[in-house]
């Protein structure tokens, strides 16, 4: 899989990517302990839209969200 340092242009079909989401802006609590489920929407330019429901089981920093 690619890392965040490898993504410099367009995403390629058939390649897995990891998305890091920092929900802490020091003002509003959008962190994982604020909700247990959330939707992530992906919009493709000149394409479609899809979404995934993210489930938070572990609120520690760096924990996997499925």
Q: Say if residue 32 is exposed, middle or buried (CB neighbours under 10 Å; 0-12, 13-18, 19+).
A: buried
Beta bridge partners of 53: 39
Flag whether pLDDT at 42 surpasses 80: yes
Q: Per-residue confidence at 37, pLDDT binned at 50, 70, 90?
A: confident
Question: Helix (H, G, I), strand (E, B), or coil: what is residue 49?
Answer: strand
- To the question of pTM greater than 0.75 for the whole model, the response is no
* Distance between CA atoms of residues 19 and 3, nearest Å: 9
**pLDDT value for 6:** 58
**pLDDT value for 47:** 83
Instruction: For residue range 45-61, list pLDDT tens digits in order.
Output: 788 899 988 888 887 77
Flag whether pLDDT at 1 surpasses 60: no
């Amino acid at each position: 899989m690619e890392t965040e340092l490898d993504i410099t242009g367009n995403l390629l079909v058939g390649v897995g990517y990891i998305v890091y989401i920092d929900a802490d802006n020091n003002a509003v609590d959008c962190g994982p302990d604020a909700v247990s489920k959330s939707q992530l929407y992906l919009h493709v330019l000149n394409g479609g839209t899809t979404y995934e429901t993210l489930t938070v089981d572990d609120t520690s920093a760096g924990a996997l969200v499925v």
